Structures are given as C-alpha cells and as structure tokens.
Amino acid sequence: MAFNKCWLILTITLCVIGIGYSGDDHDHHDDDHGHHDDHGHDQLLSQNFYQKTCPRAVETIRKAVDDVVSQEPRMGASLLRLHFHDCFVQANDTPTFTGEKNSFPNKDSLRGFEVIDSIKSQLEDMCPSVVSCADILALAARDAVFALKGPRWEVQLGRRDSTTASLSESNTDLPAPSFNLSGLITAFQKKNFNIQEMVTLSGGHTIGRVRCTFFRDRIYNESNIDPSFAEAMRALCPSEDGNGDDNLAPFDSITPDTFDNAFYQNLVNQRGIVHSDQQLYANGAGITDSQVIMYSRNFGRFKKDFGDAMVKMSLLSPLTGNDGQIRTNCRLVNN
C-alpha cells in the first residue's frame, strides 16, 4: 500500500521489519547478533544490512529522531503514525500519480514528512540510493517510541520502497475513529491480527493528539463518558461543525507525551476521547475489558506485548531483493 506494502492501524498503523523484542530497553544500540527467521523475504533482511554500505545510517536516524522529539514530543507520535499508515512513500499526488496522503484517514492529519525528508537528505549525502524510505520510517518510529519511554523492538533492515499506492485501500482498510468494536475486530482480522493484538496496538494512542472533528460526536452525544472529562473536552471543541474542527486534544489526557499505560487507565475511567478507543472497554461487560484492565495495571506487560505486536506487523509482505526501488525522494516514486 505504501513504502513497503504494509498496512497500519487505527489512527496509527505500520510497516517495520522488526524481529525479536529486546526486553527492558536498557541500551540504545542495535544487537547485530540477533536471530533471523526463515519467513521467505526475511532471509534477505538483517539488522546489520547497512553495516558495509552505509554504516552510520542507523545512528544518523536515531540521532535525528532524538533531537526532534526532545524539541517537540508530539512529533514522536507523528512519526509512529506515519510508520503505521505507511503512506509517506506514496503520499503525494502528481499529475500522473495518485497517492494516499489525501485519503480520509490521512487528510490534514499526517505530519512529520519534513523530518523524514531531512533524514533522507542526510543519508543521500552520506550514501546515495542505499537506504530505503521504508527502513527510515521503520527505524524512526521505533526510535520515537523509545524516546518517549516506550518499548524498543529490533528492526530488520533491507526492505525496499513500493512503486505503487492505493487511495482506495487507504480509505477502506484503515480503521476509523467512529468504528464500533465489531468493526475494529474485522479490520484487524483482515490483516491477520487477533482481538488481543488489536487491543495491544490500539495502545499506540497513549501518545499523540486528535482533531476536534474526530471526537466532537462522542463528547456531545455519548453517555459512556465521564461527565467532567466531556465538559473539559467541550471547552476545546465547540459543538458546531466547522467551528474549531482542527483544535487538538491529547488521546491520553494524563501523560500525553509519555508512552505508558495511562491510555488504558483512561478507558477504565470512561475517558477515552474517540469512540473507537472507548469501544475497547464496556464497564466490565465487553470481551476486551479484561485485557484493558490488565494493561491499566501492568505497564510491563503492555510494553512487551506492544513490541511483539509491532514485530508481527513488521513482517507483513516486505519488498526485498530486486522488488520495488530505493527512492531518492521519499514523497515521490523515482522517475
């Protein structure tokens, strides 16, 4: 669908080639001795793929991400979401090419392109036409989550960039903030994720912001919402369509710029800001309620499960070998 034909989730979704989750994230260095799974394309991927062709690539990406996230923590969530929606590589329209940037889930909401542009420019100066945009995005998302105190998973490298895009897939396959639980389950199952993994990946909303237009209906018309929370959000989001549509509120009102388990604590307290998030918890009566409660009490478990789920997502049909291309400009397919 985009950089590397991976999908992506909720108001975030992905395309990384990760493998083997590294527990407590005490270090900031890649382990070049990780195992390799024999999953077809995976055999062409490795953590040290650029060791000889662009040895400073991983370090360059990490430093750039650390710098931008330290200046603007919200950018960490934006980079994760870019990776998830994986539409950056095919995002822009041209006179002869229809990208995915203007699909309904992406229009006026994706950001961080300039960060990827800057990283790509540095790497092109360093080692031209070597490092793919798909790999840049995968590493940037991982490093952004880690910079916000989240898990750190190992990223397999060597993927190539897609030469196609699908506006229709972007419109139909990305779960919407208005989805009910059944719709979320169906959307994730379509990508081979079970219900448990859907709940886990939804936890990416522990960071980031959402536009008023996506939570207006919930704060004015739904009953399964904490009254004081609804009142506070109404101050940010007027009831009339077109009035304050772009005003922002954090997905997680407790610690909006820290990757933790407060997202699930909010759901238990009926303080999920978008309809689809609150669908994960129904006052103890829903099929996903027990997992939400567990995560709300156990960050370590959520942290590990999120890393594992990102690894699984990263193994969705990577382009390798002679497939695809190495884009010189991440916004456009090569001429």
Structure tokens at 187: 């959307």
> Cα separations (Å) of 87 from 15, 16, 31, 113, 219?
9, 13, 29, 10, 30
How far is Cα 134 from Cα 163, in angstroms, rounded to an integer? 12
Structure tokens at 31: 């382990």
Give 154's contacts (C-beta < 8 A, 6+ positions apart). Answer: 18, 19, 20, 21, 22, 30, 31, 34, 47, 311
Q: What angle do CA 274, 276, 280 make, to 5 degrees?
A: 115
Task: Residue 134: count other Cβ atoms within 10 Å of its Cβ.
Answer: 32
Q: Half-sphere exposure (CA, 13 Å, Cβ side) for 120? A: 23
**Quick one: which of 165, 160, 171 has its CA closest to 91?**
165
Give 108's contacts (C-beta < 8 A, 6+ positions apart). Answer: 211, 246
How far is Cα 242 from Cα 39, in angstroms, rounded to an integer? 48
Q: Which residue shows structure tokens 């994760």?
A: 80
DSSP state of 44: G
Catalytic residue among 29, 36, 85, 275: 85
Locate all alpha helices (DSSP H) within 148-281, ordered by sequence.
167-173, 181-190, 195-202, 212-221, 227-236, 262-268, 275-278
CB 119 within 8 A of CB 98: no
Verify whether residue 85 is a known catalytic residue. yes
Q: What angle do CA 128, 134, 139 make, to 5 degrees?
A: 95
CB 112 within 8 A of CB 209: no
Give the residue numbers annotated as catalytic, written as ranges: 85
